Structure 1
């Protein structure tokens, strides 16, 4: 506890009164007040007794634990440490003008909660009020005494007893199955590169599980057959899907034999374009893979009727067979495959001769398993053979409808394009016998009329693709009365009527109104006009919803209208303006019609006259990236330029003014078109040097 110094000079006394006499005897105690009055000894003794009582009270108060509760916390800027102690308390007096000590001027030493002894100021309060006395105001001063702290001494642990940290190798500690799964995300070219890291990586990269599907069509030009054969041989037993399309370097007999011997579990094989593939090697491959389900031999010169016989005998599970453009194969080899492979669903034999053989047609009719039949370019196919394929030989005929009473065919896709010997009598047999037909290609069958397609359109509710190119005898009645009202109208997606010179707006307008699912229409070299373009734009606008924020529009309809003499820049501008026009949501879409308008979610891409195509492409590019304002600005300036061009060609007064306006409009349009080009800073124009023209 603090030591109290009691020998301090009191206010109001003189030094002579407080000091002893020279003889050592105590001098009489006198005290002079502030007003000059001299106090006697009794008064001085009474005051000393009061002072001692005050000091004892201060001592009791300073040792009381209630001071810790009355004080405020130590300031963060206190210069005292945490382990200081209170050494002493000294009192200094000063006269108080009010005759009693001021509580706000008293300071006490308070031990803080963290062990420090910083001085704490205690404001005046009833609990901290000191006993008053006349003429004395006490002030405590605190002196800090540091106490040394005992720091424990520690010794380092011996190195042999320390715990050694193990180096964690994540890849080495990973299970083999997870490593294979990670490597399965790499492409074949990347796997070959990764195999050079180490021997372990080489073993993992050529693990058979990673090569169940080997597609070399993307890098076959960059890899020699020696390396290609090593990869196939290393992973041969595991390869199920083999695609070496276009690998013309497959010509070495020994290495090709190694590849064939290694691949014995193939399910899908694509050898299209491997024109150097030897016949013996191909036959060995077919004989050693009995599980083949899809076989593509397009364009191989090694394929013959003997190859088809081997396929029929060795591949009973075959479902897809493609021998298009194999010039050494005819319809007799196709017949062997059809009769030997009972699971065959997809037969592609384009540009194959001999389909006028009635026995081949009868075999195709008897199977009734084919879902896709491609006979494009089979110029020998005639009406008689085609009728036998569809309704058989001498079928029973219904007296009322004059239709053959046979089982419906399972065909979904039929391609008889460029079969020049087919006529209306042969093609119309498809009516009411192909209810599941989805795609029909009749391009180049020039002898067809409306009567050939009317029964097909009336009985094919799932038809989505219809190609009628170069059918010059078709009329608008087929489109307006049959296609627009057919059961397939709501689901029709692709329509091609290119070079059908008799078709125009009378047939196209009903089609655009009723076929609301159209995604592409090829009507180049027809009589279509601006009305057809406007109707197509209105159809897309009707089915499109407003674009959501932070999204971009997509292509909803592709139109091809070049070489259409009746299509002008006005119709093209109608399509461009509809692409950039904002629409409001409909009530049927569950939103209020008063919502904020937004650009459409679907737009139209257009192929038109080559002089306008650059402007159309630039406009479409701006719309697809969401810059509708720039697209609208380009469309307006292009319209001004086209209008000025038309006015400049008019004869009469004001020709010079119209030509000057044309040049100005052309300059503005060119500047706007170049502003959206890559590498051009927006808002800046490229300098041009125009030749001087004498007006």
Structure 2
């Protein structure tokens, strides 16, 4: 109805109702309605649906491939594949895209998209004999086999394979006009797992799963032996040199390197961490090479190993505090068996040398719980007091090695208390090695108590004991009312006045105790004289090392000769600064050389003397030294600096050492005026100025080693690490060392200057500027990149030239 002026509202276009004939895909039977107002069958136009019978470019004759659908459904094959869930696809090709004509396809798709005609045609079910349409969706539940070579299944080459669409899930994103799943991916079964996830390659861990734990621990433990063997082989084979030893990579070798590797292995896994910190590996906790070891790692090892640890060496750990030592002691302590008894460790060796931060309380806490101690080193600790000696005497009854040298807070009273504690139990001290260097307030009673309570001593160090008298030495070996105890090795010898060093007129007998001392050090005991040597005569028959250095002129021939006549096994004798001794002492050490010896006579015993130090002995002559060199075939070290030794002794010693093939032979002749530069040049081929050793600790000494191949250095010096060469320390030898060091420094500066020149001359322009302005550059430096450019008119020929 028209409500006013203007054009009325247009109604939307409407189509007449559609009528459909029985659906069949043969185009010869289809009756298509026309969209034109008239129903003339012979009308042909581009928009007519009845032009299917007309051959034209716009007709539907281009859809001829659809005739393949009209073939009857073949029977099911005898063998069918099991139902498989096809993999859904994200994109499917539609039916019009399979046609060959592009002109008709576009019109057909436009019409079909504007209505549901195609969907109704394809999904409508018919009854009777009409040919049924193939299922357009997998939900229809009907089977269809397009056959091998069909355009709908071009991948098929086996007609026996049937596609079971009944089990296919709905395909998302697929065109509704396309009835067939013609993609090859439809045959791939679907999976709930991520198909793009990488396949895990399971590698069986045979080390952790197959090998037993004891074998795995043994493998870790063998790593230490392998590193020690490798280092030993490198030394023997000649591949270990000073340059390699001085490298930071070789700071730790052998066992120390193996321990570092084991700690690194603990980061691999939990199982390896348990193996690395197993108590069998850390039974000997030697950490002296790691003075900066963290507290956490030390506690970790102590807690993991526990009572397995038998020996602990933390020498040089200045950061080891008392709290840490107490925690370590508690971690190493085993549980008590009886209630009320103290916990105890299984430690047999403890070395705390240099641990200056520990306190007396923490030290006593460790000693009280270490009842099985056999070796204890507390050298130089301020925490050691006389009470410490009492605790050692009460709790550490198995102690065999004790080092209390240079402890400032103990004196002779603590040693006396230690000896009396053992006597009160009716036992002997089991000490075999006792070092008391620098002990204060020592007297005769202390030495007598020590000698009686410790009959098994083999090493006694009393160096730098300033109050030690001759009578104290006599009290140490004196024996009054004691009887021999053969079972415990307690022997007594009776001496007359002559043998004891007394006046001949005396008729008394002197009973002395025969000790087991092998090493006795009385160096720098300034109150001693040769009478102390007479008191030791016949009491030390097993003595091998005797140190009497720093006593001075009070040490004369008589007592010393009496002692040397009763020590047939002496290997080392240190008589430094003994200026009063003469050739008689040297003759005592020299074995008699038979002038005429029959073939039936047994050979004369060789002298065991290996080292002799007589520095400052001005009365000793060359003849005595020459006889000593010829008679002592094992003499390796002769230190006779500041004496009257001449060139003949030097030549004889070098010749004898080479003939006897002595390794690391050494002759010290500093301040001997008989040696000249010409003599040292004649012996250059067989001598060396220093005794070099290959280790990281000697990197500062910079020894000259032939294994490093320093050809330029050998023009000035000799190989200092060759054991076949004789070490000769003289004034000219030190000049050789200085010359080698100066040559190395000169070459280093030359390389540094050359490198600086190369870096500064990066371009020709910079080179020309540097050469032209060098004469006025401060310090002779060439112009760099930041320097102003040289003037063009200034050349090298103009200006000053310093000749």
TM-score by length of 1: 0.58
SS of 2:514's partner is: coil
- Counterpart in 1 of 2:217? 180
Moved over 6 A (4+): 486-489, 617-620, 624-628, 630-635, 677-680
- Counterpart in 2 of 1:560? 668
CA distance in 2, matches of 1:570, 1:519: 25
Q: Are 1:201 and 2:288 an aligned pair?
A: no
- Counterpart in 2 of 1:262? 331
CA distance in 2, matches of 1:607, 1:524: 15
- Counterpart in 1 of 2:544? 438
SS of 1:565's partner is: coil
Of the three residues 293, 298, 301, the one matched with 1:228 is 298
State whether residues 323 and 349 of structure 1, in contact with CA within 8 Å, keep that contact through their aligned partners in structure 2. yes
User: Which structure dedicates a bigger proportion of its chain to strand?
Assistant: 1
Of the three residues 373, 377, 387, the one matched with 2:460 is 373
- Counterpart in 2 of 1:358? 445
Deviation readout 1:535-594 (Å, 9 max, x if unpaired): 1022113323xxxxxxxxx834112212211122343244334x2xxxxxxxxxxxxxxx
- Compared CA separation, residues 175 and 289, structure 1 to 2 (3 A): same
State whether residues 419 and 453 of structure 2, in contact with CA within 8 Å, keep that contact through their aligned partners in structure 1. no
Q: Are 1:469 and 2:576 an aligned pair?
A: yes
CA distance in 2, matches of 1:279, 1:365: 29
State whether residues 320 and 345 of structure 1, in contact with CA within 8 Å, keep that contact through their aligned partners in structure 2. yes
- Counterpart in 2 of 1:409? 515
- Counterpart in 2 of 1:91? none
CA distance in 2, matches of 1:256, 1:362: 33
Deviation readout 1:326-382 (Å, 9 max, x if unpaired): 111111211233452621111100001122242433431453211000000001110
- Counterpart in 2 of 1:13? none
CA shift, 1:214, in A, is 0.8
The within-5 A match list for 1:472-511 is 472-485=579-592, 490-511=607-628
Deviation readout 1:449-505 (Å, 9 max, x if unpaired): 111221222121111111111111111232135445599962111111122233341
Of the three residues 420, 429, 436, the one matched with 1:342 is 429
CA distance in 1, matches of 2:636, 2:608: 10
State whether residues 557 and 605 of structure 1, in contact with CA within 8 Å, keep that contact through their aligned partners in structure 2. no
- Compared CA separation, residues 530 and 678, structure 1 to 2 (3 A): farther
- Counterpart in 1 of 2:561? 454
The within-5 A match list for 1:281-296 is 281-296=362-377
CA distance in 2, matches of 1:573, 1:484: 33
CA distance in 2, matches of 1:477, 1:620: 40
CA distance in 1, matches of 2:585, 2:500: 22
State whether residues 564 and 588 of structure 2, in contact with CA within 8 Å, keep that contact through their aligned partners in structure 1. no
State whether residues 188 and 214 of structure 1, in contact with CA within 8 Å, keep that contact through their aligned partners in structure 2. no
CA distance in 1, matches of 2:361, 2:259: 28
Q: Are 1:514 and 2:631 an aligned pair?
A: yes
The within-5 A match list for 1:568-583 is 568-577=676-685, 579=686
Q: Are 1:214 and 2:279 an aligned pair?
A: no
Q: Which runs of 5+ in 1 are unaligned?
A: 1-164, 545-553, 580-603, 609-616, 636-665, 681-695
State whether residues 321 and 347 of structure 1, in contact with CA within 8 Å, keep that contact through their aligned partners in structure 2. yes
- Counterpart in 2 of 1:533? 650
CA distance in 1, matches of 2:655, 2:625: 13
CA shift, 1:261, in A, is 1.1
TM-score by length of 2: 0.50
CA distance in 2, matches of 1:443, 1:399: 28
State whether residues 540 and 557 of structure 1, in contact with CA within 8 Å, keep that contact through their aligned partners in structure 2. yes
- Compared CA separation, residues 491 and 367, structure 1 to 2 (3 A): same
- Counterpart in 1 of 2:724? none
- Compared CA separation, residues 489 and 503, structure 1 to 2 (3 A): farther
Q: Which runs of 5+ in 2 are unaligned?
A: 1-200, 225-257, 333-344, 423-427, 482-492, 502-509, 594-603, 692-700, 719-734, 750-803
SS of 1:347's partner is: strand
CA shift, 1:412, in A, is 0.3
The alignment's C-alpha RMSD in Å is 3.7
SS of 1:440's partner is: strand
SS of 1:269's partner is: strand
- Compared CA separation, residues 482 and 522, structure 1 to 2 (3 A): closer
SS of 1:183's partner is: helix
- Counterpart in 2 of 1:595? none
State whether residues 530 and 572 of structure 1, in contact with CA within 8 Å, keep that contact through their aligned partners in structure 2. no
